Structure 1
Amino acid sequence: MGASRLGGAPAMPAAAAWPTWQGRSLSFIAQFNLAEVAPHDARGLLPPTGWLAFFYDAQEQPWGENPADRGRAVVQYYPAAEELATRPLPPDLTAEAYSAFPAAALTFAPEITLPNPWDEDLPLPENAFTEEQRAAYGFLLLTQHGDGTSRLLGNSDNLQGPMRAQCARAASQNASHPETQQLSAEQATALAQQAAGEWELLLQLDSHEAEAGMMWGDMGRLYFWINRADLARRDFSQVVQFLQCY
């Protein structure tokens, strides 16, 4: 029941509410048994036990860049002490509406992921690489990127551009902190660049059409990011989501 998987029906505590957006149920896309993940979490960032459940507005597939879209992607954490039971999908989630997906089992393996040295969120000095080193590193990045690239933690494989500064910008526009709404565009950009390094990739979910009927945009990927301070507090309520595609 509590095994890691994509799609299907989630295992949830009785007290957990199914996430909704403007009266519509969000699609259940993935659940992770953290005890299965823990042996591969070399940095110990995630809770060693419990479950993470991911929900998303799969029917309309928001990009995540609009502050008004906050709440259309939700992550719930269920501590190990919680008793779980399979929760049937709400009636408004159907395969015909592309809001329900067949279950697909997951397995885990460690991998080495490489940061992009040209990521404007985490800039390096211009002389950090020689031309030969730059070419060699670029080749390594190309060999790292493959089809079906989904992962927890690590470095993101960006299909369009860096996201950390966008995460910080989205957090600064959170309606629960109205004082940040008074920032000028220049101040908001400076704040985002300053806070970019505080964000951790939580989940990168590729388009797994064959396995789970999931297609994000045009062969795209979903990215869920979390502030490191929130992750340390086991607070998954402020996760930021983006969709990128070709």
Structure 2
Amino acid sequence: MEVDDAGLAALCASLDADVAATVAGLALPSVRMQPADACDADAAVTRFEGVPLVGEDFAWPTTDDGRPLTLIGQWHCDELNRWIGAAVLPAGRLLCFFFDLQKQAGWGLVPQDAQLWQVTVTDAATASPAEPPAGVVTVPARSVAGLRVLTMPQSSEPAIEAIWAWASPASLRYEELWLEEGPDRKHRAFGWPNLQQGSMHLDCQMVTNGIELTRQGYRDPRVPGLQAGAAGWRLLWQVDTDEHGLGWMWGDMGMLYFWIRSEDLAAGRFDRVWVILQG
């Protein structure tokens, strides 16, 4: 959830010093990514949709049965780094995010769903537009207005549940931090997600280690041993339903979340991204 610095500071001032330090340490910067003006389909900028700019060895990603995925958006890493104020992404690179927009045949709940998305990395200086294959869903491109914001975990995240009890005075004050007047569509890079259902860090850790996200899966004896690694997952991109602006809806008015391990982000291993759809 997005918060403002003043509200977070006021909350921390009302808490014991050790608790305040813990809460303040959870704050993560994020980039609010609002659709702006229409732009060229092959513009070398951060944008929603359009045509991907890629390298010579690019092959349009498809599902296992040959259905082409849709370009959801393209990032120019230099722009994202500038917006967030840190060198988080590899300089001079373009990231193209593909997903199964047409059928949404899986929600990232089983290992086999990995066929439904792909993130490509290309040198921006040499990238060229790819020719969309027959049958792919194409949507007009929209440029992005990026704004750095501060985010905190929602109360149902384990990081918050470990600090205070639900409906305690501190918990109620914490809920008041949520900025309800934010944009209707919450497209954001990095930071904490806006949850539609439950926390996803452990989910990503489980499913990428071969455990299906079912009731029985959470009882798998391997889960306790995977919990420590769950904290290494971080949100890469949260893509909200935007039926009238961008022309997509995820599930039933849900959100699409691209996740990546911290070590993979540092190494530029975007082929290891995992996606979960909630809604």
TM-score (norm 1): 0.85
Give the deviation of 1:124 after TM superposition.
4.3
Q: How does 1:215-234 map to 2 (within 5 A)?
A: 215-234=249-268
* Cα displacement (A) at 1:186: 3.4
Match of 2:142 among 88, 95, 104: 104
Alignment partner of 1:88 out of 122, 131, 139: 131
Counterpart position of 2:52 = 10
Match of 1:21 in 2: 63
Cα pair distance change 1:37/1:125, threshold 3 Å: closer
| Identity between Structure 1 and Structure 2 (%) | 31
Instruction: Identify if the C-alpha distance between structure 1 residues 128 and 79 changes in structure 2 by more than 3 Å, giving closer, same or farther.
Output: farther
Matches for 1:155-174 after TM superposition, within 5 Å = 155-173=192-210
**Counterpart mapping for 1:102-181 below 5 A:** 102-120=140-158, 122=159, 124-125=161-162, 127=164, 131-141=168-178, 143=180, 146-173=183-210
8 A contact 1:102–1:213 mirrored in 2: no
The 3 A distance-change label for structure 1 pair 123 and 113 is closer
The structure with higher relative contact order (CA 8 Å, sep 6+) is 2
Aligned residues: 230
| Structure 1 residues without counterparts, runs of 5 or longer | 94-98, 175-182
Matched, 1:199 2:236: no
Q: How far off its partner does 1:48 sit?
A: 3.0
* 1:64 shift after superposition: 0.9
Unaligned runs of 5+ in 2: 1-42, 212-216
Matched letter for residue 238 of structure 2: Q
**Equivalent residues of 1:101, 1:214 under 8 A apart:** no
Q: List aligned pairs for 1:231-242, cutoff 5 A.
A: 231-242=265-276
Contact 2:155–2:175 (Cα < 8 Å) also in 1: no
Kept after mapping to 1: 8 A contact 2:92/2:123: yes
Going from structure 1 to structure 2, the CA distance change for 1:167 and 1:144 (only over 3 Å counts) comes to farther
Letter in 2 for 1:193: Q
Residue aligning to 1:96: none
Q: AA paired with 1:134?
A: S
AA of the residue aligned to 1:225: W
Alpha carbons of 1:191 and 1:14: their partners in 2 closer, same or farther (altered >3 Å)?
same
- Does 2:65 align with 1:31? no
Counterpart secondary structure, 1:32: strand
